[in-house]
Structure 1
């Protein structure tokens, strides 16, 4: 743990973690908050699942474009433009009463998702020594996973409370506070993208990157089914309140898995560590098909989260 203590003693480490934290909580909340909003408006679990799927799909397919924008123009204006758009969009989405608008709005929200994690990750190269970079990435991943502990709990609690509108409203507030805080920090606003060499090759032309993209598609499909399947299954079984605790169990052990992976990062290569944890992660998911939205699913989620956090 001494490594993490040394990292936290660095000023920019605290700035990066604290400024981005509210926005990361918003991202952890928005999935369940959106699902229950659409389900409440349309009285359809299928419609809610489609809305969440469209939002996630749009967010994913435009991630590369947001990354390219950061590489070209830096972080200052992409963050300062997209954060207010996204926060405003969440409020519009919450107060809309039109069933015909809910799906286009969900898609639009995914298209303008602010690049919070995409922005924080390259800043670690500026904030910490190169020898501590993998440990910093592990710490950053664990913080992201930590927000996923109480984000779903908070979202489901508010969405199923007498004041269900407060879930997306709070998401908008957290995104505005966290996103703009990050966008106005000195380390982010003065960040300069790395210059590409003349021999630079586009990443999609590299066989290794194409293989990694293919792998990410399969993993992403699985995680997407998991993210939609849990609240959908729980809602159909008339126990929607279990959605948040199951996601929280998943996230709690993800934090532990990420921290453990960071501590042993110098004792094994990244490839060996990935292969071993990936295999264990795959094995841990097999009993999921036999579970029910309750204690059994929460128990299996603990193991999935631990190995999934290590993989990340």
Structure 2
């Protein structure tokens, strides 16, 4: 790679340390959902209450994620993130006290909603920062688009890594200390690293109202191209939730429940590696066609997973699915970034991120009931349905026309 390549120029302009800070800053949320479940089951002795409490965390994130993104577009990321980091750290500590205290379940659920509602939205804000930084770079014609695609691929890979290894970290910390330790650790990580992320100079690269007089109105977010990208991330979330839930039922029925995490990790690792490579694809392989191509690979992997009979066949199927899901997710974010209204990047990225969470929550709830009533062999077809929906959105995407470079 040349010394003056766009990727090296971008890394030099924002600093290598940024990537480490942004990665660790998004780790707490990946820990919270599983960490709250583990803690509440230990504190209240009920898996049902633990599952409901964990779901409330996701519900809180869904409700406020786009609003936090809109606030960042309006007032800038730094004040919004600093406030969110402080409030969420306090809420997480309060959640531990409420879980182990003599409080009604209603209070526990309320605090859990607040824990999700105050999530700092590091992932979409990081994407908005990098899009802003790329927009300010002087590059050759066509280089902006390629660099933006590479950056969205990197961000998607980081999300995959965090959500694969976050639950693993919860398990390690819980075993080494107490079931409450992962939630307290998430509070500490939020306070330290989200604050560091907020104070990083890249906070200035994301446009907001004070520096963008031509900031487009919020209604422009409802453009068909952005709505289709959000529909794509919703379907992706449905796939994640359906696959994890049905895979858990499959492994339990097969007598190897302890291998669920390993099998799911096979898909996550492959997804992260392929997402990193999307920037190397030729420009003539347009984003709209990438959506269709990689979703087709994902569909084949999902169908093979539905017909898997054991650990080995499931592992190969998930490895193939990972080759499709990572590049697809990176493509969706790249499309949304290219179509984002001026000054609304953080809002758009938060909408896409919240759509993933919505899909995961819905699929986990529906497929969990399906697996109990009909068995894992039927539940494993739910991810296939989610991928078909993703493919339909991809086909509809061709109707929105050409995107601006």
Q: Shorter-chain TM-score category?
A: 0.7 to 0.9
Alignment check: 8 A CA contact 2:297 2:320 kept: no
Aligned positions of 1:189-268 closer than 5 A: 191-193=206-208, 195=212, 197=214, 200=217, 202-203=219-220, 205-226=222-243, 241-264=258-281, 266-268=283-285
TM-score, normalised via structure 1 length: 0.84
Q: Kindly tell me: are residues 58 and 291 of structure 1, through their superposed partners in 2, closer, same or farther at Cα, counting changes over 3 Å?
A: farther
- The one of 4, 27, 30 equivalent to 1:28 is 30
Q: Kindly tell me: are residues 25 and 41 of structure 1, through their superposed partners in 2, closer, same or farther at Cα, counting changes over 3 Å?
A: same
Alignment check: 8 A CA contact 1:94 1:168 kept: yes
For 2:118, the equivalent position in structure 1 comes to 112
1:169 aligns with 2:180: no
Alignment check: 8 A CA contact 1:149 1:249 kept: no
- The one of 40, 43, 46 equivalent to 2:45 is 43
Q: Which moved further from structure 2: 206-215 or 254-263? A: 206-215
Q: CA deviation at 1:226?
A: 4.2
Q: CA deviation at 1:85?
A: 1.3
Task: Tell me the distance in 2 between the aligned counterparts of 1:235 and 1:81.
Answer: 42
Q: CA deviation at 1:65?
A: 0.7
Q: Which moved further from structure 2: 72-81 or 302-311? A: 302-311
Q: CA deviation at 1:84?
A: 1.5
Question: Larger Rg: 1 or 2?
Answer: 2
Q: Which moved further from structure 2: 154-163 or 255-264? A: 154-163
Alignment check: 8 A CA contact 1:253 1:306 kept: yes
Q: Secondary structure at the match of 2:26?
A: helix
1:64 aligns with 2:70: no
**C-alpha offsets along residues 157-206 of structure 1, whole Å, 9 cap, x if unaligned?**
33345532222222222222220111111221574426364875613542
Q: Secondary structure at the match of 1:62?
A: helix
Task: Tell me the distance in 2 between the aligned counterparts of 1:171 and 1:186.
Answer: 24
1:137 aligns with 2:152: yes
Q: CA deviation at 1:18?
A: 1.9
Alignment check: 8 A CA contact 1:231 1:243 kept: yes
1:151 aligns with 2:166: yes
Q: CA deviation at 1:268?
A: 1.1
Q: CA deviation at 1:17?
A: 0.9
Task: Tell me the distance in 1 between the aligned counterparts of 2:215 and 2:80.
Answer: 26
Task: Tell me the distance in 1 between the aligned counterparts of 2:14 and 2:124.
Answer: 17
Alignment check: 8 A CA contact 1:145 1:251 kept: yes
Task: Tell me the distance in 2 between the aligned counterparts of 1:77 and 1:20.
Answer: 17
Aligned positions of 1:297-308 closer than 5 A: 298-308=315-325
Aligned positions of 1:6-25 closer than 5 A: 6=8, 9-25=11-27
Alignment check: 8 A CA contact 2:294 2:323 kept: no
Q: Kindly tell me: are residues 56 and 292 of structure 1, through their superposed partners in 2, closer, same or farther at Cα, counting changes over 3 Å?
A: farther
- The one of 274, 299, 307 equivalent to 1:282 is 299
Task: Tell me the distance in 2 between the aligned counterparts of 1:53 and 1:280.
Answer: 30
Q: Kindly tell me: are residues 142 and 73 of structure 1, through their superposed partners in 2, closer, same or farther at Cα, counting changes over 3 Å?
A: same
**C-alpha offsets along residues 114-169 of structure 1, whole Å, 9 cap, x if unaligned?**
02112111211343433522212222222232333432211123334553222222
Structural RMSD (CA): 3.3
Q: Kindly tell me: are residues 203 and 300 of structure 1, through their superposed partners in 2, closer, same or farther at Cα, counting changes over 3 Å?
A: farther
1:270 aligns with 2:272: no
Alignment check: 8 A CA contact 2:53 2:108 kept: yes
Alignment check: 8 A CA contact 2:149 2:279 kept: yes
Task: Tell me the distance in 2 between the aligned counterparts of 1:6 and 1:198.
Answer: 30
Q: Secondary structure at the match of 1:113?
A: coil
**C-alpha offsets along residues 56-100 of structure 1, whole Å, 9 cap, x if unaligned?**
222123221111101110111110000121122222223322461
